[in-house]
Amino acid sequence: MKTVIIIGGSKGIGNAILNTLLETHQVINISRSAPQGTHQNLTHYTCDILTDELPNIEQADALVYCPGSINLKPFPRLTLDDFKSDFEINVLGAVKSIQQYLPILKNSEAPSILLFSTVASKLGMPFHSSIATAKSGVEGLVKSLGAELAPSIRINAIAPTVTDTELASKLLRNDKMIANIVERHPLKKFLNPQEVADLAVFLLSEKSASISGQIFQMDCGITSFKI
């Protein structure tokens, strides 16, 4: 049974990944709050990724870094601290996690790393300058590390559009906003966390053994089509 470390598996997409993996994997979750429920295959460490030392783990086959932010403001209202905060949680937290667990991942037979970007890194969107800047850093990290760690470790990222999670609740807070978001997407929908989790599990598995350094746009067509 393979072991997967999930940073931020207590909520949202991370929690969907955690629950999808639990029956077939040993899952080590690291987050500020514990996931709901218990399972014989689940180990939880309470930890703030930015301020605490990460726990020592002896063995792992994959690492998933899920923490993110949605800090949407007009550019004149964004402070340097806003940019720093988004960069820290999205990029530096990922760097810290990878550096901590890279030695044990190298001991696995087919290790992989999964990060998260956003469609806003590819599609210019108003009020997204801070988060798009940070997530573009994530994409650069994936490309660079994909080359540096080949052929021993694969690394990819998923770039979702709006996903029905607590993090995106302000974007989906009433029927009018939901209808507007649905209408903007050519597939006339937005994502649920399980859809993203299903792609994540595939990218962590040996079924994707030939895929590394890629950014997967889960965009419901918004970056690909003009209809």
What is residue 196's predicted lDDT score, i.e. its pLDDT?
98
Q: Which residues of the chain have pLDDT under 50?
A: none
The pair of structure tokens assigned to 49 is 């990724």
What is residue 148's predicted lDDT score, i.e. its pLDDT?
98
DSSP H or E stretch at residue 109: none
What is residue 181's predicted lDDT score, i.e. its pLDDT?
87
What is residue 65's predicted lDDT score, i.e. its pLDDT?
98
pTM over 0.85: yes
**Neighbouring residues of 226: CB distance < 8 A, sequence distance ≥ 6:** none
Measured distance CA(140)–CA(121) in Å, rounded:
11
> Cβ–Cβ contacts within 10 Å for residue 53, how many?
9
What is residue 164's predicted lDDT score, i.e. its pLDDT?
86
What is residue 175's predicted lDDT score, i.e. its pLDDT?
86
Give the CATH number of domain 3-218; options: 3.40.50.720, 3.40.30.10, 3.60.20.10, 3.40.50.620.
3.40.50.720
What is residue 121's predicted lDDT score, i.e. its pLDDT?
92
The pair of structure tokens assigned to 157 is 């990222």
Q: What are the structural domain ranges in the chain? A: 3-218
Cis peptide before 151 (omega within 30 of 0): yes
What is residue 168's predicted lDDT score, i.e. its pLDDT?
76
